[in-house]
């Protein structure tokens, strides 16, 4: 079977690209397949011919030649209904897709939130249909992480692993502790003296680190309730905090959805925001700006994080080392709620 098979008589072939560039078919193939063993002049000539003729490589033939699948898996360790409801997760999926757009590598999305889906993931990885894996929403010692580690794929994790990942598995994260500390400093500078927090899950590094940052900056004993980064849990946790500390005048929530749930509970209790209670979230997900009042929050550098995930993975797929962990600085975005 030749690479031109299935293209149709009018579509450009690799042979026509080579002829237009004035090089051999083998040289044109090396450029199209990303080989570095060509001169810059030859590369420019072949790329110009590809653009001029509108040549599209046959992915199946290219996979046979390079022994690569031409795709990577984005594995989200959550059930589909949570992924669809969480604006940070959906935004990160979009950002990773955009970061891969110029690489000629497709993204395969796998959501793994049930036992059956975990078994399906093992079968998926055993088949080797992808060149590497990006793991998102990583829980401590979660089965999907163990599956990826055992499969020995090039891999990178969004978020600092606590346990369960291979010691040399690359990761990209925001400085969650510093982001939480900035939120507390802002509240204290605004005269808030009774500051509580709705902390995230403690089997996730984001939950642990944001609680650590809160405690680091807090003056006085901490008032803490826990949630799972969802709107419902934020509302329930805020109700609990009001029962335990009715005099609180500020709350830092470890996600924007929990902050929005907290605002709902505060309004139900008759508190005005921010006059009675100031509220700060974390992520700067799209609903933060649209909330009423608009939500002060800690912005994660979403696009930079997605690009760092993709860069690390493509480096590994190309035979390079995983590299050092990447930790990026968040930004406090001040709006109406605090």
Residues 180-222: tens digit of each pLDDT: 999 999 999 999 999 999 999 998 889 999 999 999 999 878 8
Each residue's pLDDT tens digit, 127-140: 667 788 898 877 66
Give the CA count within 13 Å in the CB-facing half-sphere of 137.
23
Confidence category of residue 329, pLDDT binned at 50, 70, 90: very high
Residue 209: the pLDDT is: 95
Overall average pLDDT of the 35-64 stretch: 74
Fold: same for 14-66 and 176-299? no
Write down the domain spans for the chain. Answer: 14-66, 71-174+303-330, 176-299
Q: Which CATH class is domain 14-66?
A: mainly alpha
pTM, entire model: 0.75
What is the SS3 assignment for 168? Answer: coil
Q: Does residue 109 register a pLDDT over 70?
A: yes
325 within 8 A of 172, measured Cβ to Cβ: yes
**How many CB atoms are located within 10 Å of the residue 53 CB?**
16
Q: 79 preceded by cis ω (within 30°)?
A: no
- The dotted CATH code for 71-174+303-330 is 3.40.50.2300
Both structure tokens of 117: 């889906």
Nearest Cα neighbor of 20 from 58, 56, 57, 47 is 47
Topology (CATH) of 176-299 = Rossmann fold (3.40.50)
Strand order in the sheet with 223-226: 223-226, 195-199, 250-253, 278-283, 296-299, 331-333
pLDDT at 251: 98
Per-residue DSSP letters for 243-271?
HH-TT--EEEESSHHHHHHHHHHHHHTT-
The better pLDDT of the pair 27, 217 is held by: 217
Residue 167, pLDDT > 90, answer no
Mean pLDDT score, 236-249: 96
The token pair that represents 133 in the structure block: 């894996």
What's the rounded mean pLDDT across residues 107-114? 79
pLDDT per position as a tens digit, 139-159: 665 555 666 665 567 888 898
pLDDT of residue 1: 37
Cα–Cα dist 97/88, whole Å = 14
């Amino acid at each position: 079977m030749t690479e031109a098979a299935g293209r149709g008589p009018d579509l450009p072939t690799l042979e026509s690209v080579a002829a237009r560039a004035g090089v051999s078919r083998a040289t044109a193939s090396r450029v199209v397949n990303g080989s570095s063993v060509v001169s810059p002049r030859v590369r420019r000539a072949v790329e110009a011919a590809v653009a001029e003729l509108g040549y599209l490589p046959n992915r199946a033939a290219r996979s046979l030649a390079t022994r690569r699948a031409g795709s990577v898996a984005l594995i989200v360790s959550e059930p589909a209904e949570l992924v669809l409801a969480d604006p940070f997760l959906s935004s990160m999926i979009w950002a990773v897709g955009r970061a891969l757009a110029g690489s000629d590598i497709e993204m395969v999305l796998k959501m793994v939130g049930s036992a059956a889906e975990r078994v399906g993931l093992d079968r998926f990885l055993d088949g080797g249909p992808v060149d590497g894996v990006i793991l998102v929403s990583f829980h401590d010692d979660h089965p999907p992480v163990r599956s990826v580690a055992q499969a020995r794929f090039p891999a990178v994790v969004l978020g600092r692993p606590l346990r369960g990942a291979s010691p040399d598995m690359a990761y990209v994260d925001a400085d969650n502790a510093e982001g939480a500390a900035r939120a507390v400093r802002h509240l204290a500078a605004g005269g808030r003296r009774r500051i509580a927090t709705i902390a995230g899950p403690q089997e996730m590094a984001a939950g642990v680190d944001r609680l650590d940052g809160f405690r680091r900056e807090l003056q006085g004993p901490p008032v803490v309730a826990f949630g799972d980064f969802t709107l419902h849990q934020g509302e329930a946790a805020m109700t609990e905090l009001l029962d335990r500390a009715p005099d609180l005048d500020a709350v830092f929530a470890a996600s924007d959805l929990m902050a929005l749930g907290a605002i709902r509970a505060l309004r139900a209790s008759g508190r005005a925001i921010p006059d009675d209670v100031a509220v700060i979230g974390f992520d700067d997900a799209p609903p933060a700006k649209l909330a009423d009042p608009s939500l002060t929050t800690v912005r994660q550098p979403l696009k930079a994080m997605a690009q760092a995930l993709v860069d690390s993975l493509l480096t590994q797929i190309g035979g390079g080392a995983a590299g050092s962990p990447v930790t990026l600085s968040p930004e406090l975005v001040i709006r109406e709620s605090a």
